[in-house]
A and B are shown apart, each in its own frame.
Chain A
């Protein structure tokens, strides 16, 4: 998220410069949070130009090197898994006990989560990552069910490729996406015994929404998708014609010998499909209460534009509701927002991402592991008595890591069997929060040095703090107080 990659280094101040607070608002919603330098670059720009630049030229590639195993087929992976198990069975540890089996699938899952979190941190186009995450939460698939991990990597590539590409193209691709075929049981759905799982969620969650179709529509859609499956050796999509139900189906009032693509095409002709996508975008970027008139307007833009995403995202960021100052700080940060954003803002070096994923896990959002097919409920449900205390605890650890010592992997361990270890480590550390009183500016990272007290508070908080943030104290203490204020949980 380097300011230089995305924005001109030294922009001339536009006559209609938006100012610091609006720049902060735009970046807090369109990225994972912005540093003072990033905000300063944008504040000098005209608002419309800044939105155009956010949505301007982009590339569909991740900067982080892909894990090494992404091209392995399911057969190869099964062999590796068996080898690992056999090896663990034969060998004994030094104490004579059986060795802990290192399971390739679990290891791949860990690498995959870390890979994406790394990408969110290093990306030069954070809105693309936000949209990739948005599609992941719309077209959910989960490591809890999809044990062929390369399929989830490829699905993530698809989401990034269509981050602000085309919804119609994306929907069509998702229907034949191997991870989706595994997650919602399409891979085993055959004419003799159609599986309704994908068809049901396609209608209920991915397009129309409840109340806009019948059970018969689900059954007929399920028949239309039969035969779409996965090549056993390569894990690639395959269409088994002989398993397809070629009979006539009635779907949403139309009849024909439909296949999967026909069903998708019919769904894309329904106004509800675009409205539903726009409602979700609204909840993601604007507020938790979509305005029906605005949703109809945005859905119109999406449909008449042939489902291109850029025009509708542009209209969303330019909408009066988004720009209303009363709308600032009205969304609760997701665990990914909070963890990625805080590390970015503090400029915290975290070479090993597993600890960040563990934080996200504790707070209820692990990338590639949505809780169910509906995805993360988000909104107020992010904050419970448990997660609020945990958020505060993690913020303290990050502040300590910035101002006192480096981030230590063991500190983040959530595993109960390491409690003793953790307790010991805790006791060796300064009492949480206390050391910050003496934290000097020199100890803040380069992302924050040289920022005055008032700007620090306005960078960290979308509105006035709830608790006292004494701007007369050292920069480290100001940052600590701001991050522990309830308002820091908002964006």
Chain B
């Protein structure tokens, strides 16, 4: 068993309350008098919550029961700095701890890589974004690239010379080892990516998300044996005039992920993939005076894949019981990670949470 995790970072802090909407809760109307999504527009999932109407493309997955929504994901003593909070999510640390290794790399600490992963390609994970922290660590060979052609061309320009000697200089030894790693990855990727057919369905050409999903699709359909691919969508820091900004982003996200799903199904790889969204925090329950929302805490996140158990998981945080105006988390994000580490890679990993509470969103 080894599945590929497609990690989707929603940069800036996505407003969870207007993503998965507690439309039936009267507190929602009070907290979001202007910014709230009208009840009749909400795509109702059950008698309490529903999706933002711009997430309509995800309904196909919801109906096929391969979209799980994990509600109320956060952590104790939440930090409201973008910078610090994303570091907490990326490294699976507690809010008082500073770690330098990413959580995916930590999942493979002292463990052999899942069978097949990295074999013959010299790369275990690929980041198609600028933030590579979740995948950084000595136990994972991670390549960061904006696009494949550019990476391969640059690697080509830095060809390894197998006869060189570091002369016992550890810094030079490190440099040469990294150069060899780049060359090995490029050699493995080059043939596979060039042989891979383009995605069956094209991605929308608005913003970088489509391009990132396109490359992720090619990597997965080309059978490059990686354990994770990371992409990102930015712009969620909506302090003012939130509605049009978030609507556009949610539309891009849902459209992109729906296309990705169809492409994976067409390539026969949907069962081998698991998509997870994450963001540094949700936003304040009460809208601010600028028609936006400020930095908050817990938020819902999406998990998709052929072997995902669709439906709502975790409890929606109570709007009647806020903590300093913020939602109290009901699911620790590290439990989401532990569930994925076990369900994707067969790694029973604890990230230091007191007791692991596995979630039931992955089929055996």
Contact = CB atoms under 8 A, between A and B. Distances in A.
Interface of A: 85, 89, 98, 142, 144-145, 288, 329-332, 371-374, 377, 379-380, 383-386, 388-389, 392-393, 396, 414, 416-417, 419, 432-433, 463, 466-467, 484, 486-487, 489-490
Interface stretch (B33-41, B169-177, B295-303): B169-177
B171 A330 contact: yes
Given A330-B170, A377-B100, A388 B81 contact: no
28 contacts: A89-B240, A145-B83, A330-B169, A330-B171, A332-B175, A371-B87, A372-B87, A377-B100, A380-B170, A383-B175, A383-B178, A384-B136, A384-B142, A385-B143, A385-B144, A385-B185, A386-B142, A386-B145, A388-B158, A393-B154, A419-B208, A432-B157, A463-B167, A466-B164, A466-B172, A466-B176, A486-B172, A486-B179
A419 B210 CA distance: 14
B154 A389 contact: yes
A331 B171 contact: yes
Contacts of B174: 332, 380, 383
B164 to A, nearest CB: 5
Nearest to A488: B175
Most chain B CB within a 10 A radius of its CB, from A288, A383, A417, A432: A383
B179 A416 contact: no
B182 interface: yes
Contacts of B164: 466-467
Contacts of A372: 84, 87, 98
Contacts of A466: 161, 164, 172, 176
A392 B87 CA distance: 28
Nearest to A374: B98
Size class of the B contact interface (CB-based, 8 Å)? 35 or more
A148 to B, nearest CB: 15
B172 A389 contact: no
A483 B82 CA distance: 37
A89 B240 CA distance: 10
A316 B176 CA distance: 29
B226 to A, nearest CB: 14
B146 interface: yes
Interface in B258-273: none
A385 B142 contact: yes
A490 B157 contact: no
B252 interface: no
Contacts of B142: 384-386
A330 to B, nearest CB: 5
B144 A416 contact: no
Contacts of A377: 100
Given A389-B155, A416-B208, A489 B98 contact: no
A466 B165 CA distance: 8
Contact of A392 (B145, B157, B161): B157
A389 B182 contact: yes
Contacts of A396: 157
Interface string B126-156: 0100101000100001111110000100110
Contacts of B144: 384-386
A33 to B, nearest CB: 16
B158 A389 contact: yes
Contacts of B176: 466, 486
B81 A145 contact: yes
Given A144-B83, A373-B98, A388 B171 contact: no
A467 B161 contact: yes
Contacts of A144: 81-84
Nearest to A389: B154
B153 to A, nearest CB: 9
B280 interface: no
A466 B178 CA distance: 14
Given A144-B81, A332-B171, A467-B161, A386 B143 contact: yes
A385 B182 contact: yes
Contacts of B154: 389, 392-393
A396 B82 CA distance: 34
A312 to B, nearest CB: 24
Contacts of A463: 167, 169, 172
A90 to B, nearest CB: 13
A399 B170 CA distance: 28
B241 A385 contact: no
Given A144-B81, A330-B169, 15 more contacts: A89-B240, A145-B83, A332-B171, A332-B175, A371-B87, A383-B174, A385-B142, A385-B185, A388-B179, A389-B151, A419-B208, A432-B157, A463-B167, A466-B164, A484-B158
The 10 A-B residue pairs with the shortest CB-CB distance in the complex, in nearest-first order: A386-B144, A144-B83, A380-B174, A486-B175, A416-B208, A389-B154, A466-B164, A385-B182, A332-B171, A388-B178
A467 B159 CA distance: 10
Given A374-B98, A417-B208, A486-B172, A98 B241 contact: yes
A414 to B, nearest CB: 8
A381 to B, nearest CB: 8
A199 B176 CA distance: 41
Contacts of A484: 158
A332 B176 CA distance: 12
A89 B100 CA distance: 40
A389 B175 CA distance: 11
Nearest to A487: B172
A204 to B, nearest CB: 10
Nearest to B166: A466
A396 B157 CA distance: 11
A282 to B, nearest CB: 15
A142 B98 CA distance: 15
